[in-house]
Amino acid sequence: MRWLDAHASARPVADVVDARVAWLTGQSSWTHSALSPAQHAVLDALAVDGWTPVRVGFPWTDRAVAPYRAAPLVVASARNAVQWAAARPVTAFTRETARHLQALLDRTRQDLLLLCGSTGARMAAAAAPLVVVPDGLHVHVVGLGPVGALPPPGGVWTVHAVRGSADPLSRWGFRGHVDVDVPGGHLAAATSPAAIDAVRRLVGRPRDSGPSAPPTADVAVAHPAGDRGRDGPSAQRGRGDARPRGAS
């Protein structure tokens, strides 16, 4: 995939840290991987628990950093569909996904939390057999509205799924176990306060994390005044109730 070829010589943004959280999704733009304000808000909430956030999306390189600009929904959906189709074993796209994921693994000492939104679930599942998890590292995978299989759990891999109650795309594309239903549709549910609560309950704090100040992000991102991505814990006010599967 030509847009990913441009990152072949780019520098990974991740420094060496004990615990890290990163978004893994398909890309809506072929020129950058800037995260939305809502995605930043999820990272802000998890940073309070001790997770060092990667402030840019896949493939997590310096070339991917840019100001956020939303792509038209039809265009973004088409691009994600192309990446979903390419996320299969032995494709060049999957090999490159694994190579960039390996860089995150190698730069994380204890706990890596991957937030796999939509197409990111299938990307993670295809790349997982091609990476080597360093000794002492635990990989936590949370599918948020996953479309496609998630990596199989076991060993150093812990896998969960959170899905919106009004998300027919994930219901069609993901047939595995869903740990928690949250209110909302495919796009909004993945970054909702209820989804944040679900992730925090399912994964918990990273090992050896204490009550220290939130860690410094791997990438410093300038947010315009009033950007919801800077709300941090306050973004949780007015949260909806997450509903575990099987609850009445």
Percent of the chain at pLDDT exceeding 90: 65
| β partners of residue 194 | none
pLDDT at 63 over 90: no
> Cβ–Cβ contacts within 10 Å for residue 121, how many?
33
pLDDT digits (tens, 9 = 90+) for 16-25: 999 999 999 9
User: What is the pLDDT confidence band of residue 64, given thresholds at 50, 70 and 90?
Assistant: confident
pLDDT digits (tens, 9 = 90+) for 138-148: 999 999 999 99
pLDDT digits (tens, 9 = 90+) for 189-207: 999 999 999 999 999 999 8
Say if CB 50 and CB 209 are below 8 A apart. yes
User: What is the pLDDT confidence band of residue 9, given thresholds at 50, 70 and 90?
Assistant: confident
Q: Give pLDDT, residue 3.
A: 65
The three state secondary structure string of the chain is: CHHHHCCCCCCECCCCEEEEEEEEECCCCCCCCCCCHHHHHHHHHHHCCCCEECCCCCCCEHHHCCCCCCCCHHHHHHHHHHHHHHCCCCCHHHHHHHHHHHHHHHCEEEEEEEEEECHHHHHHHHHHHHCCCCCCCEEEEEEECCCCCCCCCECCEEEEEEEEEECHHHHHHCCCCCCEEEEEEHHHHCCCHHHHHHHHHHHCCCCCCCCCCCCCCCCCCCCCCCCHHHCHHHHHCCCCCCEECCCC
pLDDT digits (tens, 9 = 90+) for 72-101: 888 888 988 998 998 999 899 999 999 999
Q: Give pLDDT, residue 116.
A: 98
Q: What pTM value is reported for the model?
A: 0.83
User: To the nearest 10°, the Cα dihedral for 158, 163, 169, 174?
Assistant: 30
Give burial (CB, 10 Å; 0-12/13-18/19+) of 165. Answer: middle
